[in-house]
A and B are shown apart, each in its own frame.
Chain A
Amino acid sequence: MEFYPKVYLYRRIVKSKLFIDDNYADAIDLDHIADEAFFSKFHFIRLFKKTYGKTPHQYLTWVRIEKSKLLLKEEITVSEVCYAVGFDSVSSFTGLFKRMAGQTPSAYQQNCINKQLEIETEPLRHIPNCFAEMNGWTKRAIFKKSELI
């Protein structure tokens, strides 16, 4: 059985983090999470930040933005993504997204669409030539630049 100092503390903090990972789209009460982990709110925030470099609230926001990136790649509208990941204001979501991702949700989505189109039509631009040669992909006509684009 593994044992190290404060293993019980780590397990409670990790459990809280995993709870946020699984329930980020809901209206999470971080006070409730602290209670479930048997910590005072102050102690919980301090330990969480020491472990993950972010407060629980900052981490929740980060998870929501990361999940929104995945949905934006699916070409779902910005407002739908906003509500799907747990934000209740499109303007707040857009502002936060831009601050954290360096571009607006719309710009991010368009860049993803453009990259995916390039992967589909010119996949060899994204594969090291040595691997493409070893797999025989450079010899295949379908990977030549599409004349339709």
Chain B
Amino acid sequence: MLDQDSAYDFYVNKLGFKVHTDAPMGPGMRWLTVNPPEQPDLEIALMAINEGMMFTKESAEGMRKLVAGGTFGFGVFECNDLLATYEELKAKGVEFTKAPTQEFYGFEALFKDDSGNWFSLGQKGK
């Protein structure tokens, strides 16, 4: 994530995810995980890209550019009603790069989070 506070707002207030663990780990460090409301045991870590033990300054800058450029697709979400979910998320300001479309593999839309990561959103059983 480019910014954990912004990511918190996106995943919790827009997508409706629950906060699983929110632990301050020292100055500028925070372990923040969320879960889809129907999957309390699935943790999605919202990790900041900062210079530190994981990234050098240069690699952090490079990673941030890649994320902001929409390079990474991190997974597939499913919902009960794609059209309703699409309308609701659009009303909340979520950016969709593909509207609900019937593909050969299923009924799917694509959206981006606040950092630029993209996800597929499909409808269960369709």
Contact = CB atoms under 8 A, between A and B. Distances in A.
Interface of A: 2, 4, 7, 10-11, 13-15, 17-18, 51-53, 119-120, 123, 126-127, 131, 134-137, 140, 142-143
Nearest to B109: A2
Given A2-B99, A10-B83, A51-B84, A136 B31 contact: no
A115 B26 CA distance: 19
Interface string B31-61: 1000000000000010100001110000000
A123 B12 CA distance: 21
B76 interface: no
Contacts of B23: 119-120, 123, 126-127
B66 interface: no
Nearest to A142: B26
B31 A53 contact: no
A142 B27 CA distance: 13
Given A2-B99, A119-B21, A137-B25, A131 B83 contact: no
Interface string B10-22: 0000000000011
Nearest to B29: A135
B21 A10 contact: no
Contacts of B80: 51-53
5 contacts: A17-B84, A119-B21, A123-B23, A131-B31, A131-B47
Interface residues of B, number: 21
B54 A13 contact: no
Contact of B52 (A10, A136, A143): A136
Contacts of A135: 25, 29, 52-54
B16 to A, nearest CB: 9
Closest 5 CB pairs of A and B: A123-B23, A14-B87, A2-B99, A136-B53, A51-B84
Nearest to A115: B21
Nearest to B96: A2
A142 B25 CA distance: 9
Given A52-B84, A120-B23, A134-B53, 17 more contacts: A2-B99, A7-B83, A7-B87, A10-B87, A14-B87, A17-B84, A51-B81, A52-B80, A53-B80, A119-B22, A123-B25, A123-B31, A131-B47, A135-B29, A136-B52, A136-B53, A140-B26
Contacts of B53: 134-136
Interface in B52-100: 52-54, 80-81, 83-84, 87-88, 91, 99-100
